[in-house]
Amino acid sequence: MIICTGCGQQNQDGERFCQKCGKKLQSSRRMAASDDNSSAPLPRFTHHGLPEDRWLTFRRLVEAWGYLGVLAVVAAVCFFQKTWWPLYPAVVVLGLLLWFRRI
């Protein structure tokens, strides 16, 4: 037996519409009980992030750009001071850092 959700009339199993009110009959599945947690805070969003190998590549790229930024600052200071000798040790130190860090 299928019970109409509109009027409560019992109908035969093969019926598609209620014999009393004409409303389309629903399946016999019951709706899940709704928990009224509207005042509860939503869970914090966490993403799964990048795979480990891509994250390592990204970190190396950011580190390399950081070294390039340091070199650009040293070059700008040398340009405004009109003295170029500090640029040479800076290039050597940054080159060694890149080589030891395997970037």
Q: How far out from the chain centre does Cα 11 lie?
A: 49
pTM for the structure as a whole: 0.50
- Residue 62: the pLDDT is 93
Length of the chain in residues, anyone? 103
Enumerate the H helices of the chain as residue ranges.
52-81, 87-101
- Residue 80: the pLDDT is 94
Three-state secondary structure call for residue 17: strand
Mean pLDDT for back-to-back runs of 10 residues, the chain (103 residues): 83 85 74 60 71 84 94 95 93 92 83
Tell me the two tokens of residue 7.
């009027």
